[in-house]
A and B are shown apart, each in its own frame.
Chain A
Amino acid sequence: MWYEIFKFEIKYRAKRPDTYIYFAIVFLFSLIAVNFIFEKGLNPVKENAPYVIAFTMAVVTAIFTMITSMIMGVAALRDFDHNMESLMFINPIKKKDYLLGRFLGSFVVLLFIYSGLLLGIMLGEFMPWRDTDNMLTFNLWHYLQPFLYLVIPNLFCGGVIFFISGALSRKLIVVYTQGIIFFVLYQITAMLTKGRIDAPFFVTALDPFSFQTINTIVRFWTTTERNLTMVPMDGLLLYNRLIWVIIGIVVFIVGAYKFSFNVVRDKGSKKKSKAFKNKEKKSLQEDIEIPKVNIRHDIKANFIQLKHHTFFYLRSILKEGSFLAIVLCGIGIIFINSIDLGNIFGVNSYPSTYLVIEELQEMSMFFFLILLVFYSGELIWKERDVKLNLIHDSLPISDFINLTGKFLGLLLMYLILIVVLIVSGIVFQISKGYYQVDLVNYTVGFFGEIFPFLMLFSFISFFFQTICNHKYIGHLMVLIFFIVTLALLILGFNHGLYSFGGGDLGTYSDMNGYGHFPLSYSLFKVYWIAICMLIFIITVVFSVRGTETQLKKRLKLGQLRLNSSLIKLGTVAMFIFITTGCYIFYNTNILNTHFSTSTKETYKANYEKTLKRYEYLPQPKIVDVNLKVELYPKERNYTAEGYFILKNKHNTNIKEIHIQKLANDDVVLEDVYFNRGVSISNEFEEFSYYVYTLDQPLVPGDSLKMEFKQTYTTKGFEGDNQSNTQIVYNGTFFNNDHFPTLGYNKSYELKDNNTRRDYGLSPRITKAKIDDPKELMNGRSGGDGYKINFEMVIGTEADQTAITSGTLKKEWIEGDRKYFHYKMDTPMINFYAVVSARYEVKKDQWIPKNDSLGDPVDLEIYYHKGHEYNLDRMMKSMKASFDYFSTNFSPYQDHQMRIMEFPRYETFAQSFPSTVPFSEAIGFMMDIDDEKDVDMTFYITAHELAHQWWGLQLVAANVEGRHMILESLAQYSALMVMKQVYSEEKIQQFLKGELERYLSGRTSERKKELPLALVEGQQYIHYGKGALNLYAFQDYISEEKVNLALRRFIRDWNGFNGQLQTDRYATTADLLGYFREVTPDHLQYIIMDLFETITLYENKTTEARYTTISKDQYRVNLTLDAVKYRIDSLGVEKSISINDWVDIGIYADGKNGKDKLIYLKKHKITNQITQLELTVNQKPTKAGIDPKYKLIDRKTKNNVLSFSE
């Protein structure tokens, strides 16, 4: 019997067009899925690597959960929808047969639809836009395996849940809600695994789409592994799949048991209808007269109707059980997630209003979109769904009022939720003890950002629901519209005039508020709302009323609806659309230049093609900078006037001076004068590159003066994401990149190698080889300076403080402007920042412990009022840093150190001579709990201060390994300072984060991982591995010896007064020489392991036993398993023989439940398996190899084992 039903189901579906529409959608999307999901490119992981295919399939299945729910949910629902249930269920079919037949039939159809995924993604491999260089050869099994293991179980489990919920609830919206629960589960797992090196097993096992499961498995896979290995169907993934298949089966059985054929099955309603019958007594009022009423159809009546209509629909949404379910899910998610508020380096920030808003926006968006898509469909179809439409359609209410009422009802629903979100945000802030609730910020964030977004997409949703005249296709169209909008943005079609709903409100900052963004933002929104009004009018014209549904007929009918008020509205909308559109265009494209991604790329490619030949053309060096900078923050302008002294440091004559003006239309380089006869060539004007030919060449050692005046003028406003955030109302921060540079500027080159190939450029050499003779002479990438003397006068608005490097010589007021005169007492590198804002200042002084450590240093922190939280930590860090660095490395070169806060448009801190601009997003707003957090403010401050030595005293050559000298040594230095103040556990906690950074960073390496000493600028290497390995290094050879080596290094290579007066800058080859000098013979091997090669370990303890000898004597027996890996030059990981000194540690119970290390000693490990017998004097609890993870190990959990007696 079930087979008949099964056959019927398939036949029925085979005739339905939606089956093929769904297939086509899945197929077409799968064709581009890989490129869509990995839009940033995968290189060097191949685009059809097994892991990529598996992940793509999982994502596509998740995206199209909606189709699964439509196919499966409807299977059992259909009879109820079409009032067929009475006819169906009186037939002599068994419940089991009915359900099984329907389910299997629909499931087969579902498999057919998803075969589009398999076919699409396979065919996608051969699409013309795919690049065979980025592909492996086709392998069918790479596609089949994940389809069988990932997609089919997902479909099965999802299918069962949708099918059963449809059969039991008989309501589609309940089916949809199940889909949301899937996503909620996924989000929870995503959240719980985010950035965790050891995600709990149950979390990864529970992810219904198995994204996290796959990610956890491949987490530390390197490129080679990703290209070669299939995601193994064992362990975690197997459990995950089993769990979900079992859940599916259980749901089916329970659901089948609960399912009943009764047509009326709700006991409650049965009782009710009985009660009805009893009460049916005649209250004979039938002879009552029908009163006369006034029927009004004037404007006022229209308003009353609209209001009434709006609230009627609002109420109808709010009453839906599903609405409540979605909202509760959303609030639950938000609540769980907000724990991680503003997490930077593992430390949460204070719940400032903007952070709470950003978090709420991100979290609620998904739920808002669900509500938008579902309920716009529900509202459009409300009358037709209950067949009230004929009555409703014959009412004397205009289609415009009818649709507007529905639309406003939807908007009111958003408003209510927004108010709920705001209130919960405030409650959250207060519950954290934070009382600076900024209501304006809340209002703008929600009513200014989220609400217009929802409104615009609601217009679109109404439009599609009307035009398609099919609810589910309408849902899908909105989804596709949304995806296409995103895809276009990603593809670089980014102008707010054609990117749907464009307009950019920038980033909120306490310092600069919303800055200059609100004007352009609101214009863009008005523009889009006008467009959507026009779309809405089209929607009204085409809306279905009565029984005619053909588009042609509707158009004919619609013409009748175009009454004068609709035409007036349309005219007004059209007028607003055209005027705002023109005005925006005038600003973004005429006053300013709009760069699409491709024009920008073309420009960069042409720059390189035309000018690369000048890269090593000898140019003089800047040795003297003297500028007067006038800042006009309100206008977002500046002028700079003054001179550079240029000196020929080469041993050849210089005939041409090449000046690169900043390639920005707002910057005008007005007058350039040399104190020599020159002739100028404008041949490269389009690149803002000017060649000055000297009448008399500049002979070696000779210098000349270059005077110039430069202006920066902000004109109107710019398009999305193109507006400058460096020169702003409050919190200006730019560096000397703004001023003219000499010669070819490498930083303009295209960086992505795939893009470069598209423009016919060879792959870019990120860093020159460590022995490249030209770059060894180059101290800073693109640096034009050499031991410059620096002097600057900055003028700014009277209530702002302007800061740059050097001693403040003078400060005065002139009219409504304030001036600051800075002069550097000693030469410095050519690297300085100009900062200006309304600042508060905290001052202190560092007094050296003895004279040999140098002069006292004035310490100043310029901060935004209200951001006082961590000033003491910064101050403490500065003092500790000066203590440590001047004692262990060399004296500090200047007399002041200033930290200046700048707006959170960028999130970094950067060290300039005697100044450190420090983003408000890091450090200042961290809510550091000394119990559980690492004091990152302290750490970052120490790190930046360390750069006053590593980078500003010791200048590293611009070759491989440069960042090890600059960043890894700064990491090491900061760690050592932290060690002075904080406990060993805090250091461990910090290093664990760095281990995670390194291990996950190396998996997304796009070229080839390099050893630390040859790093090209990969952060995971020079920050992550740098901190780990230098820490391990000092653990092996002692902190004193490392510092001794560094002291010698800086003594010899100091860029200003180093003992080695060479004409080149330092490299890691030099540094490692100093390291070797201080390393004992038996440990020399670690220099190779830590710095010169990529070495990893797989250390574990396989057995740990102890026997009690006496009360204070315990014999410990350990079996250890240690494997050492080396990555060879091809990037292949190979195990090598081990002959290393490794920590062995034994723990006992310590105070307040914490572990106490009672034994820690390095043992020489020479075999993979090692048996050890040790004696300790306390009862041990656990023990193992490398318990503090000093060696890089991808599985740290198994290093230590608890004892069995």
Chain B
Amino acid sequence: MNSLNITNLSKTYANGVKALNNVSLEIPTGMFGLLGPNGAGKSTLMRTIATLQEADEGTITLGDLDVLTQKNEVRKVLGYLPQEFGLYPKVSPELLLNHLAVLKGITNKKERREMVKALLHKTNLYDHRKKNLGGFSGGMKQRFGIAQALLSNPKLVIVDEPTAGLDPAERNRFYNVLSELGENTIVILSTHIVDDVKELCPNMAIINQGEVLLKGNPTKTIEKIEGKVYQKTIKKNELEMYKQEYKVIAEKLLQGKPVIHVLSDHNPGNDFIPIEADLNDVYFSQIFG
């Protein structure tokens, strides 16, 4: 499978919200991070790639496939974990995985059993395989979600905000599973957490208000602002003043006191300390810069 090409994709909802505005991306195999704040249009883009939503304009191709028209062909190689989903409460994970596996085309019983077993182990659900899904915690549900997305050796995996609501340990486990996916797989991970992308993705794009602000390799994008980020601890009431005077790209609290990052080609002085730029700074510089 080659790459996923998104060209000039636009989508406006019936209520007038412009969810995607002329989005173009080329997504190669490997992990691809789609970073953006809530409401940036990430899920819309993901659903459109996952054949579940129509675009007003533009094209998406996966290798030779036209994603917008050859939906069923795309689905054959697709693994999708939506941002929000539910499960039949009165069914066990084993049964539901088995059911989904059949529908995905794993019609050989033995293969299916092996696959379901492996994925249950992989997602640490094996001990709960006979329980009803109704009693699952958020983390277990999410793990089940990833298990079903991997059922058919997919070539294209789309995971939409998978780590929301997971504790750090579960998040790590989740990453491990994702990162193991072979090199031949396109994995698109949408998130609003910068660390997710930093840890996993060789490629990424930042998207806000339906537009792609930046695309590239996280390290390379960091290099671009390397040496331009300065930090200072300030008082609360000074924030507005700094915002007017400097290009403030991030503000956070450190032990209760506001700390700001500014972007500047030269050292602004005034007690600003130069710091090593990270992806967060890239992200915030794109969003707020």
Given known contacts A276-B131, A387-B85, A387-B86, A286 and B76 CB-to-CB distance under 8 angstroms: no
B137 within 8 A of A: yes
Interface-lining segment among B146-154, B207-215, B238-246: B146-154
A1082 within 8 A of B: no
By beta carbon, the residue of chain A nearest B152 is A295
By beta carbon, the residue of chain B nearest A289 is B118
28 CB-based A-B contacts, threshold 8 Å: A269-B135, A276-B135, A285-B121, A286-B177, A289-B118, A290-B115, A290-B150, A291-B115, A293-B108, A293-B115, A293-B152, A293-B153, A295-B152, A296-B105, A296-B107, A304-B102, A308-B99, A386-B87, A391-B82, A391-B85, A394-B52, A396-B75, A396-B78, A397-B75, A546-B47, A548-B53, A548-B54, A550-B14
The distance in angstroms between the C-alpha atoms of A312 and B51, with both chains bound, is 24
Q: Are A282 and B124 in contact (CB under 8 A)?
A: yes
Q: Are B121 and A390 in contact (CB under 8 A)?
A: no
Q: Are A398 and B72 in contact (CB under 8 A)?
A: yes
Residues of A within 8 A of B53 (CB): 546-548
The distance in angstroms between the C-alpha atoms of A269 and B75, with both chains bound, is 36
A281 within 8 A of B: yes
Q: Are B107 and A305 in contact (CB under 8 A)?
A: yes
Quote the shortest CB–CB distance from B174 to chain A (angstroms): 11
CB contact between A291 and one of B114, B124, B135 (< 8 Å): that residue: B114
Q: Are B84 and A387 in contact (CB under 8 A)?
A: yes
Residues of A within 8 A of B171 (CB): none
Q: Are B72 and A281 in contact (CB under 8 A)?
A: no
Residues of B within 8 A of A280 (CB): 127
Given known contacts A388-B87, A546-B51, A550-B14, A293 and B150 CB-to-CB distance under 8 angstroms: no
Given known contacts A283-B126, A386-B86, A545-B52, A395 and B107 CB-to-CB distance under 8 angstroms: no
Interface-lining segment among A18-26, A552-560, A684-692, A796-804: A552-560
By beta carbon, the residue of chain A nearest B96 is A388
Q: Are A386 and B89 in contact (CB under 8 A)?
A: yes
The distance in angstroms between the C-alpha atoms of A382 and B180, with both chains bound, is 34
A300 within 8 A of B: yes
A140 within 8 A of B: no
CB contact between B137 and one of A276, A395, A396 (< 8 Å): that residue: A276
A279 within 8 A of B: yes
Q: Give B86-128 interface residues, CB cut-off 8 Å to A.
A: 86-90, 99-100, 102-108, 111-112, 114-115, 118-119, 121-122, 124, 126-128
Binary interface encoding of chain B residues 131-165 relative to chain A, with 1 for a CB under 8 A from any of its CBs, else 0: 10011110000000100101011000000000000
The distance in angstroms between the C-alpha atoms of A292 and B150, with both chains bound, is 11
Q: Are A395 and B75 in contact (CB under 8 A)?
A: yes
By beta carbon, the residue of chain B nearest A281 is B127
A319 within 8 A of B: yes
B80 within 8 A of A: yes
Residues of A within 8 A of B76 (CB): 295, 297, 396
Quote the shortest CB–CB distance from A401 to chain B (angstroms): 9
B69 within 8 A of A: yes
The distance in angstroms between the C-alpha atoms of A394 and B73, with both chains bound, is 11
Quote the shortest CB–CB distance from B40 to chain A (angstroms): 17
The distance in angstroms between the C-alpha atoms of A398 and B112, with both chains bound, is 20
By beta carbon, the residue of chain A nearest B52 is A546
The distance in angstroms between the C-alpha atoms of A979 and B175, with both chains bound, is 96
Q: Are B88 and A388 in contact (CB under 8 A)?
A: yes
The distance in angstroms between the C-alpha atoms of A297 and B85, with both chains bound, is 26
A1060 within 8 A of B: no
Q: Are A305 and B103 in contact (CB under 8 A)?
A: yes
A1204 within 8 A of B: no
Count the A residues whose beta carbon is within 8 Å of the partner chain — how many?
51
B173 within 8 A of A: yes
Additional A-B contacts beyond A390-B52, A391-B100 (13; CB < 8 A): A269-B135, A279-B128, A282-B124, A285-B121, A286-B124, A290-B115, A291-B114, A301-B105, A390-B84, A394-B51, A394-B75, A396-B72, A397-B103
B71 within 8 A of A: yes
Residues of B within 8 A of A312 (CB): 99
The distance in angstroms between the C-alpha atoms of A319 and B92, with both chains bound, is 14
Q: Are B69 and A560 in contact (CB under 8 A)?
A: yes
A1111 within 8 A of B: no
A148 within 8 A of B: no
Residues of B within 8 A of A1022 (CB): none
Given known contacts A286-B176, A308-B99, A293 and B106 CB-to-CB distance under 8 angstroms: yes
If over half of A's interface residues share one DSSP class (helix, strand or loop), that class is named, otherwise mixed; here it is loop
The distance in angstroms between the C-alpha atoms of A274 and B265, with both chains bound, is 56
The distance in angstroms between the C-alpha atoms of A44 and B176, with both chains bound, is 84
Q: Which of A279, A283, A391, A548 has the most CB of B within 10 A?
A: A391
Q: Are A297 and B103 in contact (CB under 8 A)?
A: no
CB contact between A300 and one of B89, B107, B114, B173 (< 8 Å): that residue: B107
Residues of A within 8 A of B115 (CB): 290-291, 293
A294 within 8 A of B: yes
B50 within 8 A of A: yes
Residues of A within 8 A of B71 (CB): 560
Q: Are A286 and B121 in contact (CB under 8 A)?
A: yes
Q: Are B54 and A292 in contact (CB under 8 A)?
A: no
CB contact between A394 and one of B50, B54, B177 (< 8 Å): that residue: B50
Binary interface encoding of chain A residues 252-288 relative to chain B, with 1 for a CB under 8 A from any of its CBs, else 0: 0000000000000000010011001001111101101
The distance in angstroms between the C-alpha atoms of A1204 and B69, with both chains bound, is 92
A393 within 8 A of B: yes
The distance in angstroms between the C-alpha atoms of A296 and B87, with both chains bound, is 25
The distance in angstroms between the C-alpha atoms of A285 and B147, with both chains bound, is 14
Residues of A within 8 A of B180 (CB): 290
Residues of B within 8 A of A550 (CB): 14
Quote the shortest CB–CB distance from A255 to chain B (angstroms): 24
By beta carbon, the residue of chain B nearest A385 is B86
CB contact between A285 and one of B122, B145, B148 (< 8 Å): that residue: B122
The distance in angstroms between the C-alpha atoms of A387 and B47, with both chains bound, is 15
Quote the shortest CB–CB distance from B279 to chain A (angstroms): 27
A826 within 8 A of B: no
Q: Give B46-78 interface residues, CB cut-off 8 Å to A.
A: 47, 50-54, 69, 71-72, 75-76, 78
Q: Give A534-565 interface residues, CB cut-off 8 Å to B.
A: 545-548, 550, 553, 556-557, 560
The distance in angstroms between the C-alpha atoms of A279 and B14, with both chains bound, is 48
Residues of B within 8 A of A553 (CB): 54
A343 within 8 A of B: no
Q: Are B134 and A269 in contact (CB under 8 A)?
A: yes
Residues of A within 8 A of B108 (CB): 293-294, 296
Which 8 pairs between the two chains have the least Cβ-Cβ distance?
A546-B52, A387-B86, A285-B121, A396-B75, A390-B82, A396-B76, A386-B86, A295-B105
Binary interface encoding of chain A residues 112-123 relative to chain B, with 1 for a CB under 8 A from any of its CBs, else 0: 000000000000
Q: Are B121 and A295 in contact (CB under 8 A)?
A: no
The distance in angstroms between the C-alpha atoms of A547 and B14, with both chains bound, is 12
A316 within 8 A of B: yes
Residues of B within 8 A of A297 (CB): 76, 105
Binary interface encoding of chain B residues 21-59 relative to chain A, with 1 for a CB under 8 A from any of its CBs, else 0: 000000000000000000000000001001111100000
By beta carbon, the residue of chain A nearest B173 is A286
Quote the shortest CB–CB distance from B189 to chain A (angstroms): 16
Residues of B within 8 A of A305 (CB): 102-103, 105, 107
Q: Are B85 and A283 in contact (CB under 8 A)?
A: no
Quote the shortest CB–CB distance from A438 to chain B (angstroms): 41
The distance in angstroms between the C-alpha atoms of A390 and B76, with both chains bound, is 15
The distance in angstroms between the C-alpha atoms of A308 and B153, with both chains bound, is 21
Q: Give A374-389 interface residues, CB cut-off 8 Å to B.
A: 382, 386-388
Given known contacts A290-B118, A390-B85, A283 and B127 CB-to-CB distance under 8 angstroms: yes
Q: Are B54 and A388 in contact (CB under 8 A)?
A: no
Q: Are A288 and B121 in contact (CB under 8 A)?
A: yes
Given known contacts A292-B153, A391-B148, A556 and B106 CB-to-CB distance under 8 angstroms: no
The distance in angstroms between the C-alpha atoms of A301 and B53, with both chains bound, is 27
By beta carbon, the residue of chain A nearest B98 is A308
Residues of A within 8 A of B80 (CB): 390-391, 394
Quote the shortest CB–CB distance from A342 to chain B (angstroms): 43
Residues of A within 8 A of B134 (CB): 269
The distance in angstroms between the C-alpha atoms of A1129 and B153, with both chains bound, is 92
Q: Give B239-275 interface residues, CB cut-off 8 Å to A.
A: none
